[in-house]
Each structure stands twice: as structure tokens, then as C-alpha cells.
Amino acid sequence: MQHLEGIRVVSFNHFLMGPVGVQFLADLGADVIAVEPLGGAFQRKWGGANRSVDGQTMLQLTGNRNKRSLAIDLKSPEGLAIARRLVASADVVAENFRPGVMDKLGLGYEAIRKVNPKVIYAAASGFGPSGPYAKRPGQDLIVQAMSGLAAITGTRAGGPRAVGVSVVDHHGAALFAAGILAALLKRERFGEGARVDVSLLDAALDLQMESLVCFMNGKRDDDVRQRGQIAGWYYSAPYGIYPTRDGDIAISLGSLDVIAEVLEIPHGERVPAEDAYERGEEASAAIARALLKRSAADWSAIFSQRDIWHAVVGDYASLADDPQVAHNGNFVTTPGASGTPVTLVAHPVRYDGEAPPVRLPPQELGAQNAEVLADLGYSAAEIVQFQKAGVLGGTREPGVARHQAATA
């Protein structure tokens, strides 16, 4: 599956949003060269739950498949010269340093397009390339807090709460990939390069589009935290998650009148369907009391018969055994760079019914130093000299990666 075959992406990305966004392009066949410092990018040093597979962090495994790794010292004249030669050959240069860092290295958009006029320069940042927050450190939790996302995820009883994953990073990655693909299409049609900018703040607001459009129009609510069991400030009852006798169940769409009948809610506690928003807390409280009488499985069977949209709340253990997840192939297990199998989340889009394969698992630091430099015209002797002089990083002698390919 080579939708982007022949497209070279030079990626100066670290953390999560940038690497995952560029990984989307790598999955589609782009030649992605991940440029890292001698000690490795941040994702090699942290990864959640203190877990690793043969020294590979979970963050490294998350967003770095199908990429070649080049570890160079950008602080050295030789390393900077390699980087400049590399970006001159690129279709896309992607980075997520703080604004201004790449300019100081002579690798910013204006510098690159002088030698590569059709380049797509894609920058991911915390708050955008300019403005009062441009120099602030941008990170998922910080932006969840600033953007209102933590507020609307929290409850009126419990206060703000972060989403349980780096949701802004992940959505930002999708926007990053989409922006680059749009710019590539523009270049294909008009022969022009472009600059693409995506920020965590943009991503966080875009992620809340429905909620924000509701808030910004008409009378503004005083409190946007969740009400009782209801899953969002602007939703009507019954929309929410409720405890049952032995677990939890989500109720999505269904008439309050039908639900009251199914749950045998006393008539004095029923809220008419036309009052589902204004009296949402009252309605959800009555639903919550009634649901405690049976198990989640029992209610699921009853709701299915009455066409009430719902789902029993699962966890990661149940997700791993979910038949639809297995059918869709959402997880892929493949030999890792060290040879030990690793399980990854598969590419999320199907093309003619197929997902792109894992051609290269996340690579060891500098695994493709020699082959990338050879592509740029450096001789074998020059590459060895760079290695000896400490211009190149990585633990392996110059050569190709141990595991050149892996299949899904």
C-alpha cells in the first residue's frame, strides 16, 4: 500500500502529536526520516506506566513505526550540514519545536524554501507560531486545562477532570496529517509549496466544536460541567453513563417516556420528554435509581428489545477480546526492532478494505544512519568518520537495520 510512495518526509518531531501525525504519512508509504539528537528524542525516554519492551518505551512504540531513524548532532557544523542537505531533498519538513528554534538552526521555512521552493513545511506547536502564548510550553494536560476541555469533562459535584488519554495530542496529530496531505495536493495541482501550522490549542478547540458552538450562540450557560449522570452540559436526559447492580451502562438515544416505562419508574418521578434538558438532572437521578435493580447484561437485553441505544461500559481488558475490534484488525502484533513482538494500534483508515502494513517497527536510535547518508551522496568513508567523530548517534555500527520489514 504505497499511496505516498516517492514522498520524502524529514521529521524533526518529538513527544506525541508530531510523531503520530507523521506516522500516518509513513503508514501510507512516505519515506519518513526521523531526525533525532544523539541521545534520542523525548519519546525514547518516557512512555507511561514505567513500561518498556527491551528498552523501548511505550511512547516510542506509539508513534514511530514505518520510519527510518537518523541520529545526528545538530550542534555540530557537520551535523547541521547533513540536516541542510537532507531538507533540500525533502517533499515535507515537519517539526514541533517551540517557535523560532528551527529558524535559529537555519532550518526554518524561509531558509529551506530558498533551496527547496516547493517544500511543504509543517510546524506543530502548543499555541501557534505567533501571539502572546507562542513561547509558552505547550503540553496536552496544560491545553486541556486552558481550553475548557477539563471543565466540560468534569462534573458539578467533582470539579474539572482531564480526559484519560492525551486526546489533544491525538486529535492534533490527525489535523497535522490532514494539513500536510492538503498541502501536498495543492502542490500537485499548482506546483506551489506551503507552510502548514497546527497547534494543540487549535486541536483542543476543534475537538470541542459541538460544545463551543452551542455555548457561543444564544444565552451562555453559567456552568459547563456535567450535570449528574448526564455526559455533557448541553445534552438532555437520558444521555449519560449509569451504574447498575454489577457494572455501568451508557444510554445514548431513547425517549424518556419509553425509558421510564421500561425501567418502571414511578409516575411521580417521571419527567416528560419535552422537559428532558431543563429537568435533566431530575430525570437522570430517577433513571439511576431504577437501573440499580438489575445487572448491566439484563438491562442490555431489555434495551435491545425496545430499541434504546446503549452499551455496557467496558474496559481495556474487554476491548482486547471484543469481536468487532478483532474483525476490524484494530491491533497488530509484529516483531519489534529487538525481535520481541510488540502490539500496536493499527492505522485507523481502510483503503479498498485493507489497512497499511507495518513495514518497519519503531527503530533503534540511528538504525538507518548509514543508508540515509548514502542516499544523500556521502561516501562510506565519510559516514564512518562521522560516526567516529560523534556526529552520528546510535548504538550500532554503520549499517542497515536488523529488521528491515515486518508484516501485520
Which residues belong to the active site? 169
**Rounded-to-integer distance, Cα 189 and Cα 38, Å:** 39
Contacts of 23 (CB under 8 A, 6+ apart): 32, 63, 64, 65, 66, 67, 173
How do strand 331-335 and strand 341-345 relate by DSSP bridges?
antiparallel
Q: Contact at 8 Å (CB) between 162 and 141?
A: yes
Q: Provide the 10 A C-beta neighbour count for residue 53.
A: 18
**Rounded-to-integer distance, Cα 205 and Cα 208, Å:** 5
Strand partners, 389: none
Q: Which of 184, 161, 160 minimizes the C-alpha distance to 28?
A: 184
Report the amino acid identity of residue 206: D
Q: Contact at 8 Å (CB) between 152 and 232?
A: yes
Q: Contact at 8 Å (CB) between 108 and 102?
A: yes
Contacts of 269 (CB under 8 A, 6+ apart): 286, 289
**Rounded-to-integer distance, Cα 123 and Cα 100, Å:** 11
Residue 277, burial from CB neighbour count under 10 angstroms (0-12, 13-18, 19+): middle
* DSSP SS3 for 85: helix
Report the amino acid identity of residue 201: L
Report the amino acid identity of residue 161: R
**Rounded-to-integer distance, Cα 281 and Cα 279, Å:** 6
How do strand 52-53 and strand 56-57 relate by DSSP bridges?
antiparallel
**Rounded-to-integer distance, Cα 362 and Cα 69, Å:** 9
**Rounded-to-integer distance, Cα 73 and Cα 77, Å:** 9
Phi, psi of 189 (to 5 degrees): -85, -40
Q: Contact at 8 Å (CB) between 291 and 299?
A: yes
